[in-house]
Amino acid sequence: MLRGDKIGLRARHEEDIPILRAELYDDVVTHSRSDSRPWRPISPGSKDSRLVVDDKDQQNVPFSVMELDGGTLVGTAVLWGIDNHSRSAHIGLGLLPSSRGKGYGTDVVAVLCHYGFVVRGLQRLQIETLSDNAAMLRSAERNGFVREGVLRSSAWVMGEFLDEVLLGLLVQEWKPDAKA
C-alpha cells in the first residue's frame, strides 16, 4: 500500500467493486462529469473494465483509496495513459460522496505524484478536469500543478459542452511536501 497522510492507495479488491459501482458509477451525473465515455448501465457482476482491473494493462494503474484511520474504502484513483517513451501519465480520482470535503483529494494527488515520479520514474504528470471542479483544481494546485491551458467546450456533460482545465507538473518542479 502507498500511504499519504490520511489515505492509502492499494490494489482494487473484488469487494470494492459493488461499492464503487453504486456510489460513483451508477450516479449518472457524477460519472458523466468524470469520464469522457458516455454513461451506460452495467449489470452487477459484469467484468466491465471501468471498475474491474486488467492486470495485463500496462498503461493504466487503478487503485482503491482507503482511509488510513479505520481502513474504509473512500474512492478510486488511477494513473492512466502511461507513456513510457515520453515518461508521462495522467492522474484521475473519484471520492465517494461521504468522503468529499475532508482533504482526501489533496492527499490522493500527492500519493499519485509519489508513485508516478518516484516509483515509475516519470517526467511529467497531467490532470484534465472540468473548469468548475474547484475541489480537483485546489487539490492539484496544492501539490504544485500549474494551469497550462483551457480546452474550450471540450467535454460533453449532461447535454452541454463544458470547458476543461489542463494542469501539468514536471518532476523537477515537484516538491513532495507541496501540499503542506
What cell was used for 75? Answer: 474512492
Predicted local confidence at residue 48, as pLDDT: 67
Does residue 71 belong to any structural domain of this protein?
yes
Does residue 35 belong to any structural domain of this protein?
yes
**What's this model's pTM, rounded to 2 decimal places?**
0.91
**Can you give the residue range of the structural domain that contains 91?**
2-122
Predicted local confidence at residue 139, as pLDDT: 97
Does residue 25 belong to any structural domain of this protein?
yes
Does residue 97 belong to any structural domain of this protein?
yes
Predicted local confidence at residue 49, as pLDDT: 64
Quote the CA–CA distance of 59 and 57 in Å, as a whole number.
6
DSSP notation for 59-126: S-EEEEEEETTT--EEEEEEEEEEETTTTEEEEEEEE-GGGTTSSHHHHHHHHHHHIIIIIS--SEEE
Predicted local confidence at residue 35, as pLDDT: 85
Does residue 174 belong to any structural domain of this protein?
no
Predicted local confidence at residue 179, as pLDDT: 47
Does residue 130 belong to any structural domain of this protein?
no
Does residue 108 belong to any structural domain of this protein?
yes
Tens digit of pLDDT per residue, the chain (180 long)? 999 999 999 999 989 998 998 898 888 888 888 888 888 888 877 776 667 787 788 899 999 999 999 999 999 999 999 999 999 999 999 999 999 999 999 999 999 999 999 999 999 999 999 999 999 999 999 999 999 999 999 999 999 999 999 999 999 999 987 543
Does residue 155 belong to any structural domain of this protein?
no
Name every residue whose Cβ is closer than 8 Å to that of residue 171 and which is 6 or more positions away in sequence.
117, 122, 123, 124
Q: The domain spanning residue 116 has which CATH number?
A: 3.40.630.30
Query: What's the gap between Cα 33 and its chain centre?
Result: 13
Number of domains in the chain: 1
Predicted local confidence at residue 51, as pLDDT: 73
